[in-house]
Chain A
Amino acid sequence: MKRLLALALALAMALSLAACGGPDTPAETGGETTPGAETGAPGETREDLTVILGADFTTLDPQKLPAVADINFCSNIFDGLVALNEDNEVVPKLATSWEPSEDGLHYTFHLREGVKFHNGNDFTADDVKLSVERFRDQSWMQFASFAVDSCDIVDDYTVTINLKYAYGNFINMLWYCAIIDSDYYNSVSEEEFARNPVGTGPFKFVEWTPAQHITLAANEDYWDGAPAMKTITFNFIPDVNTALIAMETGQADMVFGTALSATTFLQAQENEELATDSTVGNSFYFINFNSDRIPKEVRQALSYAVDREVINVMVNEGTGYVGDIPLVEGQEGYTTDITTYEYDPDKAKELLAAAGAEGMTFTFFYGESADNTKLGQTLQSQLSAVGVNVELQPVESGTWWATFGDGDYDISRGGYPMEAANTDSCYYDMFHSTGTFNVSRVHDAEIDALLDEARVELDSERRNEIYIQVNQMLTEEAYFIPLYFSASMLVYDPALQGAHAVSTQNYQYKDLSW
């Protein structure tokens, strides 16, 4: 009897290990036609929406958000002076119109009148001044606010934003500046402000239970019309399998971003009760060589050794869009006139031999995640085929972010959310020697000079030429192996109107209805 028990226990332990971290099988509830989230009698239109997000927030202070996904979320609670529409054109939001001065140093904005914050306060020029100056001072916002110098109030509904230098892309980046209520901000502590956001956006903040959910309610007085969804619940489900099961059992209506993997997306495609959509995303992924440690000849040789199509299959189930530069057609600097490295292991071996780098061992330093582990193993396998060893060096992803700047690695990887209408901020960040995301450790005086010149260049044509030149230099030097644009994938309830995959994953829930 005892032995039987031991056997049963061993079995249970092994099976529980196998299931550990896997999805919990949800209890069968009700019939198949009435999934959990769909309350209310048939015929009655639902007014609630449940969305799955992959990660909880660290803050809801709209000017201290560390991730693009957080910024996108908060753009439903806050409005900017302007917004980018899906075609990446700047459209008016809280500013009805604006005009730049001739030298491009001052922008005058005419504000929308009669707009109220969620707490009932009026929106006026004071709020814009505080928001713009806070936007300028917050470190997380520097990527968008670096050119802002000051903000002057002309009258209650007119402001002027002064720039440090004429910056052609200023207006494209202004949507990142969420407008906050100056009275509210001054009356509460920073902690309180970060937990209870008050904006002018289409949705009001209701509650936040950390690691579980955030609830938003419709702003019935929204200046652009009340949204159709009256309540939205955002559930945090970090495990992609659990997220998919929640979709299948009707516990959620919409999932995208990190809560969705290529595998679960393909599984959802096979499910007739779920709708799926996908488009090319704006995040571009690289394998970055540390150019301080790996010389140009070796970088070029290794570039020939990597089959990017295979990496795309192994990591993304083939859903990514392989590209040679992190730009798509129509963006400043897009060109096909660059050095490319087609997969050619024989040539790679030849070049490695010529560079005397056969049998070398490199470290691949990355933040732990399912995708990065796959990327690391594929890279390791492909480079071992040309006689180069790769030692994987995974760290917790927070540690990666804190330490990659020290440059203590041979090879690492970077993913960057590209700005559709602004090549400057991304390129400056990644390839300027002072950039904050210079994973390839590019220290090239000529590239620096070109990027500096383009930053203050007002003529788009001229910027285009400069960035083409930068791209040619970057690819010739093989600072990185360009991989792919990830796919922006969306799985949703087919009854949801207005849902479609958005490249930037900036979903505006105001546009959705049942």
Chain B
Amino acid sequence: MNPLSYKSGKPPIPPGGPTLPIPDEGEEFIARERFAFWRRFCENKTAVFGLVVLAIIILATLTADLFLDADLVNLQDAYSRGLAPFMHSDKELERIAAGEQVITHILGTDGFGRDIFTRIVFGARSSLTIAFVTIAISCAAGLILGVGAGYFGGVLDTVVMRIVDVFMCLPPLLFSLSIVAALGNGMWNLILAVSITMTPFFTRVVRATVLSVASMDYIEAARANGATQLHIVLRHIIPNCLGPIIVEATISLSAMIMIAAGLSFIGMGVLPPSPEWGAMLNDSREFMRDAPWMVLAPGLAIMLTALSFNLVGDGVRDALDPRLKK
């Protein structure tokens, strides 16, 4: 077994795909391989389910302004506090009787009388933004550090990997928490904190893959052809490392959602009154007995999103590595 193999003894993603120097039928090969990925992904029913749920969530988030009133996100109403789903307060009933348009509280209202459904939908924006931006940042940082450590080796490798080891000893949530505590609250500080926390994980994955790719014959061939280091890294190493990174990124997205919600839950994330799911959970905790829907709604939103990311992540991994399946 290759000691540098990716995760729990499974063999690394085989280098191949677009950059394989196959003459003549190259274009056709690429098209077939891409199709094969989707075919394999679609065979996986739960992964498709995850993708569909995710697509709905993302679509709803992007188009929220079309079917919901953004002003309602923070509109407080002392008379509509803690309404159960589909209920109306007396004041609202009066307004309905007077022929006014009043929003139906599909998921009820919270302790400030705000519409929970509106807040959940708009809250998805901050949750998804945090998840995608942190992944993008930590992926990029992990790629640079991992390639540097794996391909160039030597002192750089030792220094980077020892720092990574130290960072990985710290529990992710606690590490993020201490960074946020130092930087102060707010969405961008939260993103920065979680990115720093996640970078070591990506660095490790990238380095392990780079080590196996760098020993391949085609790298040797490229070097023999007089290719520069930069050319080899950009054209051969990085493209061949993307598989494991994509898998790691998709699976980590759910962790991002959880960490962001967790930090907001303890008041260290997105500032109130922004409708962040974790913060919503915390706000409604005290009403849990009298109004369980207040906690259930954001809790389920977090669960559903994290679950979909996990399912899609699993599907992507299986589809990228056909040897795992059969």
Contact = CB atoms under 8 A, between A and B. Distances in A.
Given A18-B295, A394-B267, A13 B112 contact: no
B282 A376 contact: no
A376 B310 CA distance: 36
Contacts of A374: 111-112
Given A22-B285, A381-B112, A313 B300 contact: no
B99 to A, nearest CB: 24
B158 to A, nearest CB: 35
Nearest to A6: B310
Interface of A: 2-3, 6-7, 10-11, 13-15, 17-18, 20-22, 240-241, 261, 263-264, 267, 307, 309-310, 313-314, 368, 370, 373-374, 376-378, 380-382, 384, 392, 394
22 contacts: A2-B314, A7-B307, A10-B303, A10-B307, A10-B310, A14-B302, A14-B306, A15-B303, A17-B261, A17-B265, A17-B278, A18-B295, A18-B299, A241-B289, A309-B78, A310-B78, A373-B272, A378-B76, A381-B273, A384-B74, A392-B273, A394-B272
Given A20-B265, A310-B78, A392 B272 contact: yes
B258 A13 contact: yes
Contacts of A394: 185, 267, 271-272
Q: Which of A14, A267, A373, A380 has the most chain B CB atoms closer than 10 A to its own CB?
A: A14
B111 A380 contact: no
The B contact surface, by secondary structure, is: helix
Contact of A21 (B75, B266, B271): B266
Nearest to B47: A3
B76 A17 contact: no
A352 to B, nearest CB: 20
Q: Which of A20, A307, A374 has the most chain B CB atoms closer than 10 A to its own CB?
A: A20
A6 B314 contact: yes
Give the size category of B's interface with A.
35 or more
A380 B286 contact: no
Interface string B91-111: 000000000000000000001
Contacts of B256: none
Contacts of A368: 267
A381 B75 contact: yes
B119 to A, nearest CB: 12
Interface of B: 46, 74-76, 78, 81, 111-112, 185, 254, 258, 261-262, 265-267, 271-273, 278, 281-283, 285-290, 295-296, 299-300, 302-303, 306-307, 310-311, 314
B286 A21 contact: no
Contact of B272 (A17, A267, A376): A376
B22 to A, nearest CB: 34
Q: Which of B287, B295, B303 has the most chain A CB atoms closer than 10 A to its own CB?
A: B303
Contacts of A15: 299, 303
B165 to A, nearest CB: 26
A17 B267 contact: no
Contacts of A3: 46, 311, 314
Nearest to B289: A267
B265 A377 contact: no
B52 to A, nearest CB: 15
Contacts of B112: 314, 374, 377-378, 381
B303 A11 contact: yes
A334 B298 CA distance: 47
Contacts of B265: 17, 20-21
A347 B314 CA distance: 60
A409 to B, nearest CB: 14
A377 B273 contact: yes
B71 to A, nearest CB: 10
Q: Which of B78, B185, B262 has the most chain A CB atoms closer than 10 A to its own CB?
A: B78
